[in-house]
A and B are shown apart, each in its own frame.
Chain A
């Protein structure tokens, strides 16, 4: 309960700050709609020449794209702002103030803020989701809904752990922000069905940068192509990765020397 109460306080104060900068929201919205147009347009042109590409129709690819946007929005809203802040804090030594607080350091550090205007991509994702599902005349019942929620949640947990590992590396390497760019580039590939890529890349996107668990499986759950067994696998993957990354974080924290220690 205390955790939830704190979370509510954290998010309320962040939103209060963000409200001051409303114009950002519209810029984001326009930018993400244009980015969406580029992706859909490029897919539509290719699909003009082939009705189905590796078993995917344009409509199904759009469901995937919707989940991509949803996930991108969630990451930029909840996960990325905190992780970037920790990297700064480690570099500048201000993580001291976080550690001194009488609360779990990992919780405080990774859930301190949210960036409300990044909601733009979440909204675009939901809109596209509704549109694409309507176009495919898919029936999304409680079963699909539940599987989608579970796999999406697991996907978020996987992203969280992945980024926590990256942040923990900062304890040793100090500057990791360039690596973040590489991760985003890898994430970009998730806009399209993993099946279009060559075999070695598919394996990389499943096991190294788990785009598979972050986007492909939730999208599959929404369009009724993923059953409870796959969902269970993704939950296990999520739990294991959160546990491992937390261990690594605690290990890294021991190596933190502070600003002038």
Chain B
């Protein structure tokens, strides 16, 4: 069912491409249900450990943590809401291509993908979406159970959740493209592990995974506010919980779009340059 060549870059062409790829991805992943569950549970430990630390810290301070520098205040229920939302949103935005690409480049597994008429990023993105469709269905009851156990403070209005939806979508696309740029490093070195670790370390702090950004010490907080990691991590979470003042919402959305454009441009450049360096095994 290939589209005629003159329509290759049209919206309909891509809609059809993604529909087919997602259907295929779902079918493949349903073969590995148990592994899927384990990958899904993977995201639980980090936020829950962070929550435990902050719960313990807040009970040492009589139940409330206040950052005197900016007036941000968090109580037990606020921490629970923050890290629980972070867990769910983190799952929705996760991406693992950076891990796989090194293997693809080393073993030549990339070669057959290059024979397809479209950039392999589309097939990978579709696979990512299928994974999230399946695992979210499995994890939903667990998230509800956790919400019942941890008793998070609910957001003040439902509007904030509605507003957070486009932010979450942008965050997912952003993280996807940024990680794909990171994956391109595999064309230059086969030792990508250290570089990935660096990315995850920076992301842990500036993306709000170890602590809400409002509780970071001054200079780190300023850095976090301007970095792309906020848009991929903490921003949709804070927005959903109604913790962002109205006048700061539009600039934060703009920052998301801006960093996404940067990542897209970087990807195009890295892909072209990297492909020139790629010499398949046995070629």
Question: Do A and B truly interact?
Answer: yes
Q: Interface on A for B, CB 8 Å cutoff?
A: 23-24, 26-27, 30-31, 34-35, 37-38, 41-43, 45-54, 178, 181-182, 185, 188-189, 191-192, 195-198, 201
Q: Is the CB of B42 within 8 A of A45?
A: no
Measured in the bound complex, the distance between the Cα atoms of B52 and A43 in whole Å is: 11
Q: Interface on B for A, CB 8 Å cutoff?
A: 34-35, 38, 41-42, 45, 49-50, 52-58, 60-61, 65, 67, 191, 193-194, 197-198, 200-201, 204-205, 210-211, 215-217
Given A27-B194, A42-B204, A49-B65, verify A54-B60 contact (CB < 8 Å): yes
Measured in the bound complex, the distance between the Cα atoms of B210 and A31 in whole Å is: 18
Q: Is the CB of A45 within 8 A of B49?
A: no
Q: Would you give 11 A-B contacts (Cβ < 8 Å), ordered by A?
A: A34-B198, A37-B201, A41-B204, A45-B216, A49-B61, A49-B215, A50-B58, A53-B56, A178-B38, A192-B49, A192-B53
Given A45-B217, A54-B60, verify A30-B197 contact (CB < 8 Å): yes
Given A30-B197, A31-B193, verify A196-B56 contact (CB < 8 Å): yes
Measured in the bound complex, the distance between the Cα atoms of B38 and A204 in whole Å is: 19
Residue from A23, A26, A181, A196 with most neighbouring chain B CB atoms (10 Å):
A196
User: Which of chain B's residues have a CB closer than 8 A to the CB of A45?
Assistant: 210-211, 215-217
Set A50, A185, A192: member contacting B52, Cβ < 8 A: A192
Set B57, B194, B197: member contacting A50, Cβ < 8 A: B57
Closest chain B residue to A45, Cβ basis: B211
Closest chain B residue to A195, Cβ basis: B56
Q: Is the CB of A185 within 8 A of B210?
A: no
Q: A38-B201, A46-B211, A197-B52 are in contact. List 8 more A-B contacts (CB 8 A).
A: A26-B194, A30-B198, A46-B53, A46-B57, A50-B57, A53-B56, A182-B38, A195-B56
User: Which of chain A's residues have a CB closer than 8 A to the CB of B201?
Assistant: 34-35, 37-38
The 10 closest A-B pairs by CB, nearest first: A42-B210, A50-B60, A30-B194, A196-B56, A31-B197, A50-B57, A34-B201, A34-B197, A46-B57, A53-B56
Measured in the bound complex, the distance between the Cα atoms of B224 and A41 in whole Å is: 14
User: Which of chain B's residues have a CB closer than 8 A to the CB of A46?
Assistant: 53-54, 57, 211
Residue from B49, B55, B215 with most neighbouring chain A CB atoms (10 Å):
B49
User: Which of chain B's residues have a CB closer than 8 A to the CB of A43?
Assistant: 53
Report B63 CB to chain A, min CB distance, Å. 11
Given A27-B194, A34-B201, A192-B52, verify A42-B211 contact (CB < 8 Å): yes
Residue from B58, B197, B198, B200 with most neighbouring chain A CB atoms (10 Å):
B197
Given A27-B191, A30-B194, A185-B45, verify A196-B210 contact (CB < 8 Å): no
User: Which of chain A's residues have a CB closer than 8 A to the CB of B211?
Assistant: 42, 45-46
Measured in the bound complex, the distance between the Cα atoms of B215 and A178 in whole Å is: 36
Closest chain B residue to A193, Cβ basis: B56
